[in-house]
Structure 1
Amino acid sequence: MLSRVLLSLACLVAIVAALGAWADRQLLNTDEWVTTSGTLLRDPAIQSATAAYLSDQLVDAPQVTARLREGLPPRLAPLAGPLTAGVGELADRTAKRVIASGAFGKVWDETNRRAHEQLLAVINGDSGVLASRGVILDLRPELGVLAERIGVTPGRTGDQGRVRVLRGDTLDSVRKAVKLLRDVRWGSLALLVILLVAGVAVAPNRPRALGGAGAALIIAGLLILVVRRVAGTYVVDQVSAHGAGQPAAEATWRIATSLLADIAVTGIVLGLVLAAGAWLAGGTGWARSVRRFTAPVLVDHPELAFAVVVAVLALLVLGGLLPTVGGGWAVLIYLLLAGAGVLALRRTAEQERITPAG
């Protein structure tokens, strides 16, 4: 009973640890966020939305129409509207080409870096003017790049090209939530390991408990994926209201939470590894047959068994079939789990060779 309670708690803590790791690495790391913003810009839906916004900001349709009417002869004044539409279409097409250029990408990275540094300043306790006005994505440099390509002079007044990402009245809630996730990251990860180890240690049937530990990680990973999907649907609906911006909003959510999905998949894979180890250490006929078949290598040539396991892991990682979120840490965890599994199977195989099952 105690083992089940500990493993159930481990499932909940795994979710918190995953959210903390995602917040710390993808939301609070400026370099990582700049990389993420670059990935966003390569998405076709976001390119279209960005191009439409920049062209609208650059080409003030009512103002252009009024100027055309003033400059055209009275008989041609009705053409002001269609000509304005043509200017806007030209700006939109040009913006899409400009967005794909390297010069625009560099400006985009710097813009997102500045916006993210604003966010970090607020989260870390800046309560001055920045906190009151909110976090602003200043796209005026991007407007300058587009204006230079088209050959017009952009306006530099008001809020043209300035997107308010977070308002000042919402930043306090965001600050508290993000700081909480960041602060509990390492503590929740350590607690997760303790709960998993304790849940297996106190169980009367340790192979079965090992399978329960794997199930806890699998359930946690699946829950994270489900919550990501449900939350994404809600956020996208709120932001786009099923309008023209929905594809861009969906792409933004998908890319911005990609690391969270990777963490969830990694947890699922680790859970499957633990479950497989529990099955191999169990008392089923199939498990005994596998142990008898591998006993000559496990017992007499353990170095060969370790080499085979390392080679299989390397192939899975290089082939992209095994998630490596966390880089070297993920690979190290895989190696430690595989090594512990080989040692446990070797010990069981030795015991069964000495005392064969009746």
Structure 2
Amino acid sequence: MRSFLSSVSAVLIVLVALLTPLSALAVWADREIGNTDGYVAAMEPLASDPAVQNAVATRITDEAMKKFDGGPYREGVRNLLHEAVVSFSGTESFRAVWNTVNRAAHRAVEEGLSSDREDAVSMDLAPVIEQVKRQLDEDGVPFAEQIPVGHTRITILESDELGVAREVFDGLRLAGVWLPVTTLLLASSALLLASRRARTVTTLGLALSAGAVLLRIALAVGRGLALDDLPPDVDRAAAGAVYDELTSTLLRTGWWVLWVGLAVGALAWVWGRRMAVVCSRADAPAPL
């Protein structure tokens, strides 16, 4: 009977290792990507990212130059406008309107990750362009008044390339906090069924660390797949910055779980060794 319970405990520990990265992903999908405020907060630092600023400035400049004929001065006007937009992107006004744009785009991101729509998920830069035009006009930048304020979109992801990942994401979001709760219950059950508690705690700590490693591997693989499938007109540096920022919480979680797992495992191992020594001394025959 003891052997059977130990086998069950071992199986539960393996499940803990496998469910640890899925639990982190489930909480992330529910609390950050599935929540508007969480999504906006996650995207907010990107307003100061040079790659994102350059991608937004390039998209606005390209759209403006489609409707402006500068003749021999066209390239000079283009460079001036691009530099002016990049400069504006470093202001508080840009950061405020960036949050507004991301709040509006959140529903599209949710639908792109959880539905069968095959449209590209994009952000409408019209509020950014309107603010840029107003600011550049106040600063006396030439031709600023000719910048068209229309629906200019920048692609976030291609939803038709998500495939199975969309179904996995939707399932994880529905699981929410119940998946980590289940993982904790499995870990507790493994500990209760084990005959050697200290050794089981050590193994559980290593299982958590293994789960953290699996999470980091999944993030790295996911980044490669996401960037490889981008259409040619999407800035890879900006897309990489978006992916890194959105998954930064997961990355930090992975580090914490890794080190906590190793610390718990090491402490349990030391405690087990110490108790073994104490028990061996207690069982030793008393000197004559």
If the TM-score is normalised by the length of the shorter chain, which range does it land in? 0.7 to 0.9
Q: 1:234 to 1:123 in 2, by over 3 A?
A: closer
User: Counterpart of 2:205 in structure 1: which amino acid?
Assistant: G
Q: How many residue pairs were aligned? A: 270
Tell me whether 1:11 sits opposite 2:17 in the alignment.
yes
Letter in 2 for 1:155: P
Corresponding residue number in structure 1 for 2:3: none
Deviations 1:63-85 (A, max 9, x none): 534xx4xxxxxxxxxxx34x101
Change over 3 Å in CA distance of 1:11–1:252 after alignment to 2: same
Conserved? CA contact 2:65–2:78, under 8 Å? yes
Residue 188 of structure 1: aligned partner:
179
Report the CA distance shift for 1:135/1:237 in structure 2 as closer, same or farther (over 3 A).
Answer: closer
Asked which structure has the greater RCO (Cα within 8 Å, sep 6+), the reply is: 2
Equivalent residues of 2:101, 2:123 under 8 A apart: yes
Q: Which amino acid counterpart does residue 212 of structure 1 have in structure 2?
A: T
Q: Match for residue 154 of structure 1? A: 147
CA distances 1:90-141 after superposition (whole Å, capped 9, x unpaired): 011101111111111111111111111444578899x9xxx79775411111
Matched with 2:4 is: none
SS at match of 2:176: helix
Give the Cα–Cα distance (whole angstroms) in 1 for the partners of residues 110 and 127 of structure 2: 22
Partner of 1:144: 130
**CA gap 1:245/1:105 in 2 versus in 1, 3 angstroms:** same
User: Which residue type is aligned with residue 265 of structure 2?
Assistant: A
SS in 2 for 1:155: coil
Higher gyration radius (CA):
1
Q: Please tell me whether the aligned partners of residues 9 and 190 of structure 2 are also in contact (alpha carbons under 8 angstroms).
A: yes
- Note the 1:249-260 alignment, pairs <5 A: 249-260=239-250
1:221 aligns with: 212
1:248 has 2:234 as partner: no
In the alignment, residue 199 of structure 1 is paired with which amino acid?
Answer: A
1:271–1:252 Cα change, 3 Å: same
**Cα displacement (A) at 1:275:** 0.3
In the alignment, which residue of structure 1 is the partner of 2:31?
25
**Normalising by structure 2, what TM-score?**
0.81
Determine the structure 1 residue equivalent to 2:43: 37
Unaligned runs of 5+ in 2: 1-6
Alignment partner, residue 282 of structure 1 = 272
Aligned ranges 1:63-78 → 2 under 5 Å: 63-65=67-69, 68=70
> Could you tell me whether the CA contact under 8 Å between 1:14 and 1:189 is conserved in 2?
yes
Equivalent position amino acid for 1:189 in 2: P
Task: Answer yes or no: is the 8 Å Cα contact 1:59–1:91 preserved in 2.
Answer: no
CA deviation after TM superposition for structure 1 residue 279, in Å = 1.4
Alpha-carbon distance, 1:209 to partner: 1.0
Q: What TM-score, normalized by structure 1, do the two folds share?
A: 0.66
Q: Does 1:232 align with 2:236?
A: no
Give the fraction of aligned pairs with identical amino acids, expressed as a percent.
Answer: 25
Contact persistence 1:240–1:246 (CA under 8 A): no
Indicate the residue corresponding to 1:49 in structure 2: 55
**Long gaps (5+) in structure 1:** 69-79, 289-347
Q: CA deviation at 1:168?
A: 7.9
Q: CA RMSD in A?
A: 3.1
Counterpart code for 2:187? L
Displacement, 1:218?
0.2
CA 1:357–1:259 in structure 2 vs 1: closer, same or farther (change >3 Å)?
farther
Once the 2 structures are TM-superposed, how far is the Cα of residue 204 of structure 1 from its aligned partner?
A: 2.1
State the Cα deviation string for residues 233-272 of structure 1 (Å, max 9, x = none): 221222266x882222221211111011112112112212
Asked if structure 2 preserves the Cα contact closer than 8 Å seen for 1:134 and 1:171, the reply is no
Q: Which of these residues, 176, 184, 197, is aligned with residue 188 of structure 2?
A: 197
- Going from structure 1 to structure 2, the CA distance change for 1:171 and 1:233 (only over 3 Å counts) comes to closer
State the Cα deviation string for residues 187-235 of structure 1 (Å, max 9, x = none): 2112111111121222222211111100110000011111211221221
In the aligned structure 1, how far is the partner of 2:240 from the partner of 2:163? 26
1:101 aligns with 2:91: yes
**1:58/1:143 contact within 8 Å kept:** no
Give the Å deviation of 1:169. Answer: 6.3
> Could you tell me which amino acid in structure 1 is paired with residue 124 of structure 2?
D
Aligned-partner SS, 1:239:
coil
Task: Letter of the 1:154 partner, please give it.
Answer: I
Going from structure 1 to structure 2, the CA distance change for 1:233 and 1:187 (only over 3 Å counts) comes to same
Secondary structure in 2 aligned to 1:100? coil
1:222 partner amino acid: V
Map 1:82-101 to 2 at 5 A: 83-101=73-91
Tell me how far 1:280 sits from its aligned partner. 2.4
